[in-house]
Structure 1
Amino acid sequence: MQRIIIFITILSHSYMVKAQLVTDTTARKAEILYNQYENKVELKADAPPLVQISGAPEAFYTYFWEFGDGHFSFEEKPEHVYKNRGEYNVRLQVTNNYDNGKPPPSRPKTINVSKINHQSDPLSTERDFQGLAMLKTREPVPDEEMVVVMKYRNDLGYATNGKLYVYYNERKYRANNFEISDVRTHHNEKPAEDMLLSAHFNTNSKGVPDMALASASLGGRPFPFFQNPGDSIRNHVFITEEESEQEFRDKLIFRFEDLAPKEERNVFFTIKTTPEMLKDTSAIVKIRGVFVPDERSESHHVKDLEMEITTSHDPNKMAVSDTRINYRLVDKKRLKYKVRFQNNGEGPATTIRLNVNVPEIIDKNTLKILDTYPECPVCPDSDSLRVSYSCIDTVFSEKQVSFIFNNIYLPGSNQKGVYKYDSTKGFVRYSVKMKDKAPKINSASRTAIIFDKNEPILTNFSKTHFKPGLSLGVMSGYNSIALLHNSTNYFIGITASPYKPYRGYLQAELQISKGTYDNSRSYELRTELEPGSGIMDLTVVDEQMDYEYMDITLVPISYRYNFNKFIGVGGGVQISGRLYEELEQTSDYEYFIEFPQNRIEPNQNKPNETIVYDERDSRFEINPGAFADLNLGSIRIGPIVGARYIWQLNAPHHIWAFYLLWKF
C-alpha cells in the first residue's frame, strides 16, 4: 500500500511539473486583441508579465505592428483605418526591455474589411529623410528575429523607374550575422535577375505581393530609428556597387516602377540573426541600403543602418564600430563610438550627463562629435557665456570624457501622458583616434549615464581588441660551440610572431646554419722485420680532418615576454637536424727503420706519401634541445640583439648563440 501511495505521489508531481511547464510556455506569447468598426480597428497586445532583471531600470515592452496593407506603427495601442476592402494579416512584434527572457512570439491575425465608412488620416513623419531611410524594430540578438524596413521616396518632379539594393553580412566578420527569411512589398517591386535569395520574395500568381508594407504610420511622433548619420547622395552607382561588394558578402536587388513624385514606399524584411553571429556585445554591425530613383541616372542614395549587438534588450548601451583592429593601420584609423540612453523616470530630464571612461591608448584631443539625439549644437567654449538654449558640452579629465546635454526636454517613459517610448531615447555618436605609438593592448570603455541628479546607470563595456597580425622577422648570427676545435658556425633564419606584441607572445623560428671544425692526430705503427732481431719497420702517421656541415633548426614554439620597450626574455624547444656533413682527411705517411738503442733511419725502400680522403655523410640525424635567451634593443619590431643558451640532448650539448633580429 505504501508503495502505491509513493507511486501516485510521483505521478502527481510529474504531472504538476509538466502542467507548469506547459503553462509557462503558453504564457510567454503575445496575443493580438482588436475591436473592429467596419474599416477601422483598435489594436492592443495581451503580453505576458515581465520578469525584471535585478539592478536594471523598470522593465517595459515596446511594440511593432504591421497592419497588412503596407502601414505600420510603433504605438502600444494603435488605431488604423483601411482604405480598401479585403483581408489583411496583422502582425505584432513585442520587445521586452530589461526583461530576463526572450521576446514573446505572436501569431498573425486576419481582419476582414467589407465596408468603408471611415476616412484615414494623411500619413506624416515628424523627422524627415532624404529619399531613403532604414528602420529597425530592435537591436540584433543572436538567434532572434527582427524587422527592417527600407523606406524610399521620389524627390524628383516626375514619375520614375529605378532599383533598390540591400547589402548585408559584412566580410570583416568571419560568420554570417543575418539571414533574410521573408521579404514583403506593396507596390509590385520585383527581384532583379541577379538577386540572391529570390525564393524569399513573396508574390502571388498575379504578381502582387501577398504580404506588404508601403508606408509607415508613425502616429505623429519623433522616430529615432531613422539613421541620419551616414545619409549620402552620390553619383556613379557602379562605384558604390563595387565598394559594397567588397564590404558585404550578400545582397538583394529589386526593381520598382511608376514611383510618383513625393510618393513614399517601403520594403519590409524579416531578418533572422544566426546562432553563430558575432557574440561581441560591444560591436556595431550594419546593413546597407542603396536607392537609385531613376535607372537612367547614376545619382543615388546610400544609407547604412547601424545596429549594436546585444544579449538582452537594454536601451542604455555603448558600442564601437570596430571591435578588432589591425595594429599596422592604427595611425589611420578612427574609432566610432555610440552611447544610447533612455529616460525611464516619471518626469522629464533637462540635463543628461554621459561620463565615458577613455582607455589609455585613446587620444582624447582627437574627439569629434558626429551626431546626437536630441539634436543640439555644441555649447560655447567660454565659461563666462551662459546660454539658455539646448546645447551639448564636452568636459575632459585625465581618464574620462563627459558629454553633457544642457537645457533639453527628454520625457520619461513612466511620465504621465507619455505613450511614445521612442521619444524618451537619445544617443551621442563620436569618433577618436589612437595615440601616437599607442601600446598594443586591448581597451575597454563604459559609460555612466546620469539623468539630472539621479543615481548613475552603468552601460556594458565596449571593448576593442587588436588583431594579432603576422610579423615575419629576419635573423642572423653566430653559434659558439666550445667543444669543437677551430669551430665556426654562422646562421640565418626567419621568425613568425604577432606584430608588435605588448607583453607575452608566441614565436616560431626556422634557421639554416653552416659550420666548420677540424681535428688532428698523430700515431706510430711498428712491425718487427725479423723475429728476434729487434729491428722494426716504423710508420709515422699525421692525420688532419676538416669537417664542413649544414644544419637546419626548427623552433616550433617559444614563449617570449617583453618587460618594456627595450628588454625581453624567452625560452622554448627546438629540433635540429644535420642535412649533410663532408669530411676531407689528409694523411701523411713517413717510413723509417728503427734499430735497437733507438736509432732511426729513413726507409729507403718506402718513399713517404700523402693520401687525401673525401667522404660525404647525408644521413639526417635529429638532435632535440631547449633554449633560453635575452633580447635587448627595440624589442617589439627591431633591431634586436640577442644572446641564447642552447642545450641539446646529443653532442654537442652546450651552444651559445649571438644574433641580430629585425621584424617587419
Structure 2
Amino acid sequence: MRKTVLIILLLLGTGSIYAQVLPTDTVPAIIHYTTTNGVTKFSSELRPLRAIAGAPAPFYTYFWEFGDGGFSFEPEPMHVYKGNDPILARLYATNNYDDGKRPPTRPRPIKPASTRPMIASTSKEPTLFKMGGNIELKSNCMPKPGDDMMLVFGYRNKAENGQQSLNGTVAILFNDKEFANNNFVLAETRAYHGEKKADLKSLLTTAYLPIKKNNPPVYYASINEIQLKADEQTLLSEKAKDFKSSETWRFENLKQHEERFLFMHFKTTPEMIKDTNAVVRLTAVFIPDNPLVEKEFFNMELQIVASHDPNKMVLRKSRMNYRLTGKNRELTYKIRFQNTGKGPAKKVDVAVNISEVFDQQTIKITNTKPEVINCDSAYTNQSCIKMIKGTDSVHFVFSNIYLPGLQQKGVNDADSTMGFVEYKIKFKEKPKKLPIKSGAAIVFDKNEPIYTNRAVGRFKMGLSPGLIVGYGFPFETYKKNYMNNKNIVIGASLAPYAPHRYYWQVEAYLNSFKEGADLISSEGLGKDTVVNRIPYRILSKDYTKYKKVSTLNIVPAQLRYNVNKFVGVGAGALVSLDIYNKTTDILDYTLSTQNANGTTANSDLKVIANELKKNFTDANVSFFADVQLGLVRVGPSIGFRYLFDPKTNNNRMATYVTWKF
C-alpha cells in the first residue's frame, strides 16, 4: 500500500514539474466581458510574457474585433452593440520584446445586452482616418514569417466629396512582384455592410470613348459604367502591375460622414522572405462610381520582422543592383520608435552608426513624426530636430516634444506614442560589393538606450558574361603527343557581376578543330608496278595517319578569388569531350617512270587505305590553376593558366585574354 501511494505521489510530482515546463505559446487568448447599462466592457487573460535579456520590459499590444464592424486597439475597450443577436468577438494580442509566439486567437461568442446604454459616451471608438483621405489601412503588427496579421481597411464618404451617397469599388493589392514568392495569403475578409466580391480586371480592361478635343479622354469600365480619367486608369494599371494578388469588393449607399471597415485576416507564408530588413507593400484602392469624386490610393509599407519590436530601423529597397550603384545613388533609411514608458518623453535622441561607404555631408532629413522644424530656425522652446554629425555616427535629436508613453494614464491611442525619422544619404564613391550594415540606439529623455535591429543593404548577385581568347589550350582528349597544341580558341565565361572576394565561374569554348598528320612508317621498296597500263617503279611508300578532331571544352566548376581589383586567382577542372573524330590512313607512293625520250620522271600517288569517323568518342578531365592581371572584376585582363592532365601526365602553360561585361 505504501509503495502504491509513493508511486502515485511521484507520478503527481512528475506531472506537476512537466506541466510547469510545458510551453505556453499554444495557450489561446481568453476573452472576458461584462455588460452594464448596455455597454460591454472587454478584458483578456493572456499567457505570461517572457523577457528577452537586454531588451526593454515585454508588453502586449491589442487588436479587438467586436464582430459587428467595430474594433479597438485598447487593452480593455468598451463597445456598444446595436443589436441583440449573438456575435463573435476576437482578440489578436501581439507580444512585444517577448521570445515566444503570439497567443492564438479563439473567437468568443458574445450575447449583447437588450438595454440601450444610458451614457453613449462611455464607448470609445478609435479614429482610423488620420491622413484625411477616403481610405486608410492599419495593421495590428508588422509581418512575421509564419504568423497571422490583421489588417483594417477603412473607407468613408467624407464631407469634402459633396455627395449624400456613394457607390463604388474598393480593392487591396498585395504580394509585391519584387519578391519571387508570395508573402501573404488572404485567408478571410469579414465585411459588415453588404460588400460583395468583385473583379478588379474589369477596371483595368477598359474601352476608350473619344470625346471633345479640349477635354481629357475618359475610359469607361465594363462594371456599372465607372468613369476613369486617362491618368487615373493609367495610374491604376501601373499600381496593379507591381502586385501579384488582389481582392476587390463593391460597396453601395455609403452615406456622407459614414465610415465602414473591412477586416482582413492575412496569413504570412512560410516562404516569406526571411530578410528582416525587407519591406513589403500593400496598396488600398478607392474607386467611386461618381466621376466627380476623386479616386484614391493608400500605400502601406511593412517591415518583415523576426520578433515584434516597435523600435526598428529599415532600409528601403535593401536589395540593390550593383551595376546601377554609383556615387550618386541615394539610400533611404527610416528609424521607428515608440515610447513604451509610463510617462511622456520630451527629448528623443536617435543615434545611428554610419557606414564608412557613405558621405555624411549628403545626409538630409526627409520626414519626421512628430513633424518638427530644424532647430536652427526654431524659436526658444519650440519643438524641433537637430542633426549632430560625428566621425562614424549621426544623432537625430528631437527636442521640446511631447511623446506620450504607451503605459501613461489616459493614453488610449498607441499611434500617438510612436515616431520616426527618415533620411537619405549618398555614397562617397562606388562602394565595394559587400553588405552595408547600420544600426540605431534610441534614448528617451535620460533613460537607458534601446538598440534597434541592424538594417542591412545587400547587392543582388547579377550576372557577368565574359569573352575569352586563349592560346595553348584546351587539351585533346586522348593522345599523349598533342596535335596543334599551340592552337587559338575562343570561349565565353559566366560569373557573378563584379564579385568582391570569392566566387564561382563557368566557362565554355567553341569547338576547336584540329588537323594533324602522324607518319607511321616510311620505306624504300624498289618494286615494279603498272598504273593505267604504264609501268612504274615504286621508289618508296609512306604510311601516314591524318586526323581531324572537334573538341567541346567546358569548365563546369571554377573557384576564383579577387585579391583586389587588379589581381585574381583561380583553380578548377576542365572537361574535354570529342564530339567529332575523323581518322584517315593515307598511303603515299613515290613512283618513277621512263619517258619516250629516255628521261626519267618521278610522281606521287596517294591512296586512302582506311577512314574512320566517330562522334562523342572520348572525354577527359584536366585540372588547372591560374592568375589574372588587369581589371579582374569588370573589364579586360590577361590570364596565365597552368594545366595538368593526369591521364597523360602532361603539363603545359597557356595564356588568354578575357573581358568581363
Residue in 2 that maps onto 1:472: 465
1:642 is aligned to 2:639: yes
- Describe the shift of the 1:553–1:7 C-alpha distance in structure 2 as closer, same or farther (beyond 3 A): farther
1:26-175 aligned at under 5 Å gives the runs 28-105=27-104, 106-121=106-121, 125=127, 127-154=130-157, 155-158=160-163, 159-175=165-181
Q: Deviations over 1:601-644 (max 9, x none)?
A: xx999965342648564352212100111111111121121111
- 1:25 Cα deviation from its structure 2 partner: 7.0
Distance in 1 of aligned mates of 2:354 and 2:493: 35
| 8 Å CA contact retained: 1:541, 1:589 | yes
Distance 1:496 1:6, change over 3 A: farther
Report the counterpart of residue 371 of structure 1 in structure 2: 367
Cα deviation per residue 1:246-281 (whole Å; 9 max; x = unaligned)?
221110011111223333222121222223322222
The TM-score, its normalising length taken from structure 2, stands at 0.82
Query: Structure 1 residues 25, 555: CA separation in 2 closer, same or farther (over 3 Å shift)?
Result: closer
**1:20–1:484 distance in 2 versus 1, CA, 3 Å:** closer
C-alpha spacing 1:654/1:514, structure 2 compared with 1 (3 Å): farther
Q: Which moved further from structure 2: 103-112 or 359-368?
A: 359-368
Task: Out of 436-445 and 393-402, give the one that drifted further.
Answer: 393-402
Q: How far apart are the structure 1 equivalents of 2:385 and 2:8? A: 69
Task: Give the distance between the partners of 2:192 and 2:522, measured in 1 at CA.
Answer: 106
Amino acid at match of 1:623: N
Calculate percent identity across the aligned residue pairs. 37
1:312 aligns to what? 307
- 8 Å CA contact retained: 1:489, 1:516: no
Shift of 1:550: 2.8
**In the alignment, what sits opposite 1:281?**
276
Aligned counterpart in structure 2 of residue 329 of structure 1, from 324, 333, 336: 324
- Separation (CA, whole Å) in 1 of partners of 2:466 and 2:23: 64
Instruction: State whether residues 518 and 547 of structure 1, in contact with CA within 8 Å, keep that contact through their aligned partners in structure 2.
Output: yes
Structure 2 spans left out of the alignment, 5+ residues: 203-227, 529-536, 593-597
Cα separation, 1, equivalents of 2:146 and 2:25: 18
State the Cα distance separating 1:417 from its structure 2 match: 5.1
Q: Determine which of 502, 505, 510 is the counterpart of 1:504.
A: 502
Task: Say whether the 8 Å CA contact 2:71–2:126 is kept in structure 1.
Answer: no
Contact 1:195 1:254 survives alignment (8 Å): no
1:287–1:306 CA contact under 8 A, matched in 2: yes
Rate the CA distance shift 1:539–1:521 in 2: closer, same or farther, 3 A.
farther
- Residue in 1 that maps onto 2:217: none
In 2, are the aligned partners of 1:560 and 1:568 still within 8 Å (CA)? yes
SS in 1 for 2:112: strand
* Structure 1 counterpart SS, 2:233: helix
Q: Kindly tell me: are residues 452 and 518 of structure 1, through their superposed partners in 2, closer, same or farther at Cα, counting changes over 3 Å?
A: farther
CA distance in 2, matches of 1:48, 1:484: 78
Deviation at 1:457, TM superposition (A): 1.6
Letter paired with 1:177: N
Match of 1:215 in 2: none
Instruction: State the match for 1:430 in structure 2.
Output: 423
Q: Does 1:401 align with 2:394?
A: yes
**Whole-Å Cα distance in 2 between the matches of residues 68 and 616 of structure 1?**
85
User: Are the counterparts in 1 of residues 483 and 514 from structure 2 also a CA contact under 8 Å?
Assistant: no
Pick which of 256-265 and 513-522 moved more: 513-522
Q: 1:517 to 1:643 in 2, by over 3 A?
A: farther
Q: Would the alpha carbon gap of residues 14 and 347 (structure 1) be closer, same or farther in structure 2, given more than 3 Å must change?
A: closer
Q: Which amino acid aligns with 1:137?
A: N
| DSSP-derived class of the 1:242 partner | helix
CA–CA separation in structure 1 for the residues paired with 2:497 and 2:397: 39
Alpha-carbon distance in structure 1 between the residues aligned to 2:201 and 2:19? 47
Change (3 A) 1:255 1:405: same
Residues 1:171 and 1:377: Cα distance change in structure 2 (over 3 Å) = same
Change (3 A) 1:186 1:333: farther
Per the alignment, residue 12 of structure 1 pairs with: 12
- The 3-state SS of whatever aligns with 1:318 is strand
Q: 1:349·1:410 contact (CA, 8 Å) conserved in 2?
A: yes
| In structure 2, C-alpha distance between the alignment counterparts of 1:499 and 1:234, rounded to whole Å | 43
Displacement of 1:661 in angstroms is: 1.4
Find the aligned partners of 2:584 and 2:527 in 1 and give their Cα distance: 32
1:358 to 354, 360, 376: 354
3-state SS of the aligned residue for 2:289? coil
| Aligned counterparts of 1:652 and 1:61: Cα–Cα separation in 2 | 71
Q: 2:653 matched to 1:660?
A: no
What is the Cα deviation at residue 100 of structure 1?
2.5
Query: Cα deviation per residue 1:485-508 (whole Å; 9 max; x = unaligned)?
Result: 775411111111111111110000
| Cα contact 2:72–2:126 (8 A) shared by 1 | no
Letter of the aligned partner of 1:374 in structure 2?
P
Matched with 2:238 is: 243
Which stretch of the first structure deviates more once superposed, 291-300 or 172-181? Answer: 291-300
1:98, 1:314 within 8 Å by CA — same for their partners in 2? yes
Residues 551-590 of structure 1: CA distance to partner in whole angstroms, max 9, x if unpaired?
2111001000111111101110111123335567776545
RMSD: 3.6
Which secondary structure does the structure 2 equivalent of 1:460 belong to?
Answer: strand
Count of residue pairs the alignment pairs up: 608
User: Partners in 2 of 1:571 and 1:272 — Cα distance?
Assistant: 47
Give the corresponding residue for 2:614.
Answer: 618
Does the 8 A contact of 2:341 with 2:407 survive in 1?
A: yes
**How is 1:204-243 mapped onto 2 (pairs within 5 angstroms)?**
236-243=231-238
Opposite residue 557 of structure 1, the aligned amino acid is A
Q: Distance in 1 between matches of 2:366 and 2:295?
A: 23
Distance in 1 of aligned mates of 2:24 and 2:580: 76
Aligned to 1:410: 403
User: How many Å apart are 1:163 and its aligned residue?
Assistant: 0.8
Q: What 5-or-longer segments of structure 1 have no aligned partner?
A: 197-232, 530-536, 593-602
Aligned match for 1:192, one of 198, 221, 232: 198
Closer/same/farther in 2, CA of residues 590 and 514 from structure 1, 3 Å limit:
closer
Deviation readout 1:86-109 (Å, 9 max, x if unpaired): 444332222222123222234323
Q: Describe the superposition over 1:387-429 as per-residue Cα deviations: whole angstroms up to 9, x where unpaired.
A: 5311222233343232221221223344455455443221123
Distance in 2, matches of 1:238 and 1:435, equals 41
Distance 1:297 1:572, change over 3 A: farther
CA contact (8 A) 1:83 1:120 kept: no
Determine the structure 2 residue equivalent to 1:220: none
Helix, strand or coil at the partner of 2:487: strand
Relative to structure 1, is the Cα distance of residues 301 and 22 closer, same or farther in structure 2, using a 3 angstrom cutoff? same
Distance change in 2, residues 1:412/1:486 (3 Å)? closer
Aligned to 1:423, the other structure's residue is in SS state helix
The letter of the residue matching 1:279 is K
Cα distance between partner residues in 1 of 2:319 and 2:23: 44
Q: Cα distance 1:646–1:392, how it changes in 2: closer, same or farther (>3 A)?
A: same
Cα distance in structure 1, aligned partners of 2:19 and 2:448: 42
**Kept after mapping to 2: 8 A contact 1:81/1:118:** no
Q: Is residue 2:260 matched to residue 1:261? A: no
Q: Conserved in 2, the CA contact under 8 Å of 1:178 and 1:271?
A: yes
Q: CA deviation at 1:118?
A: 2.9
Deviations 1:287-321 (A, max 9, x none): 11111133546942111111122222211111223
Q: CA deviation at 1:548?
A: 4.5
For 2:16, what is the secondary structure of its paired residue? helix
Shift of 1:4: 6.0
